[in-house]
Amino acid sequence: MDIPYTVQPRADTGLYNAKLGIWLFLASEVMLFGALFSSYILLRVSAPEGYWPHGWLNIPIGTCNTIVLICSSITTVMAWASCKMNRFGRFKFWHACTILLALTFVCIKSYEYHDKFTHFEFTLKDGTYADGHILEDKADSLVIHGRRVADRKELFDLRAPGVKIVNSEITIPKDQIQKQERYGPWHHTYLAIYFTLTGLHALHVIGGAIVIGFLWGPLSKQWQTDPERFTNRIEVSGLFWHFVDLVWIFLFPVLYLL
């Protein structure tokens, strides 16, 4: 006896098995990212006044990434629609776009991560702070592109109205440096939750891209033997992809804008 409803929907539920399966899985993913968002809220609410960062992330780049993912969402739905309209060539085109857009997203994200990992905060022995990217590593001093502040709080709210950040080339003698720390996840809980949320999201982007890549490539020959089942697979993988876009729709304002 074969497993029923792999392609044809069951009458009383109106669903085929894989569609129910993917929605159940997405429900669990809602709880996963939901827990992380809840943690974000908690960490932010418990932070001391003035010490929660705003504006540490590059908004134009984030906006670009958001648009990249939105585009990949429309290409995904167009790929599925092409299958439904029996246009295999168009399907191949649209999903090739999806995969390329996914890779673009990951590349931009990597650039952002790199930018953070090369950004330093220096605690100086005279009680002031310096902050920026290292331009030159000389024998006894560092030349950074950044700024120097007296109050550490000034490093946090970069988006407050009226705040103007002026970065310049500053030389810091190495014997003045008490502590030097990259803007990695260990540096502040904001960065910790940022890297965790976007890292987990990026893993989902990569995973989704791999699955769509397989469906686009080696598994696409199922179109010849069982086109309906193949179309359902495109739909199911598309649902996952839209979910990944959905998460980013919330991630972007929460982490970048607020």
Partner 1 sequence: MNAQHTPPVAASATEHESFEHHVRRYLYVFYALIFGTIVTVLASYIPFGHRSINIGVALFIASSKAFLVAGYFMHLISERKMIYGILVFTAFFFVGLMFLTLFSFVDLPWHTVTH
Partner 2 sequence: MQATTHAIPHAHIGEAHHEEAGFWSKYVFSTDHKVIGLQYGITALSFLFFGFCLMLVMRWQIAHPSQPVPLVGPLLAATFGNMAVNGAVSADLYNSFGAMHGTIMVFMAIVPLAFAAFGNYVVPLQIGAPDMAFPRVNMASYQAYVIGGLIMFVSFFVPGGPAQAGWTSYSPLATSIPTDGQTFWILGMVFLITSSLLGAVNFIATIIQLRAPGMTWMRLPFFVWAQFVTAFLLLLAFPPLEAAAVMQLMDRLAHTSFFLPTGLAVGGTLANISGGGSPLLWQHLFWFLGHPEVYVLILPAMGIVAEIIANNTRKPLWGYKSLVYAVLILGFLSFIVWAHHMYLTGMGTRVATFFQTTTMIISIPSVIILTCMFMSLWGGSIRFNTPMLFVMAFLPMFGIGGLTGLPLGFNYSDLHLHDTYYVIAHFHYIVAPGTIFAMFAGVYYWFPKITGRMMNEFWGKVHFWTSFVFMNAVFQPMFAQGMAGMLRRMADGGANYSQAKVPGAIGGLSASIMGLHTYILWAAVCLGLAQIPFIINLFWSINNGKKAGSDNPWQATTLEWQTPTPPPHGNFAKPPVVVRGPYEYSVPGHATDFTPQNQAGSTAE
Binding site for partner 2 (CB under 8 A): 1-5, 7-10, 13-21, 24-25, 27-29, 31-36, 38-39, 42-43, 46-47, 51, 83-86, 184-189, 192-193, 195-196, 200, 224-228, 231-232, 235
Nearest to 202 by CA among 70, 102, 122, 131: 102
CB-based contacts of 47: which residues, under 8 Å, 6+ apart?
Answer: 189, 190
Residue 119 beta carbon to partner 2: minimum distance, rounded to whole angstroms: 15
First to last CA, the chain: 56
Taking the least distance from each CB to partner 1, the nearer of 121 and 235 is 235
Q: Per residue in 10-34, is it b (16+ CB within 10 Å) or e — as a string?
A: eeeeeebbbbeebeeeeeebeeebe
Query: Using an 8 Å Cβ cutoff, are 79 and 98 in contact?
Result: yes
To partner 2, the closest distance from the beta carbon of 168 in angstroms equals 27
Interacting residue ranges for partner 1, rule: CB under 8 A: 2-4, 6-8, 13-15, 20, 23-24, 27, 30-31, 34-35, 37-38, 41-42, 45-48, 59, 63, 66-67, 70-71, 73-74, 76-78, 81, 84-86, 159, 161, 226, 228-229, 238-239, 242-243, 245-246, 249-250, 252-254, 257-258
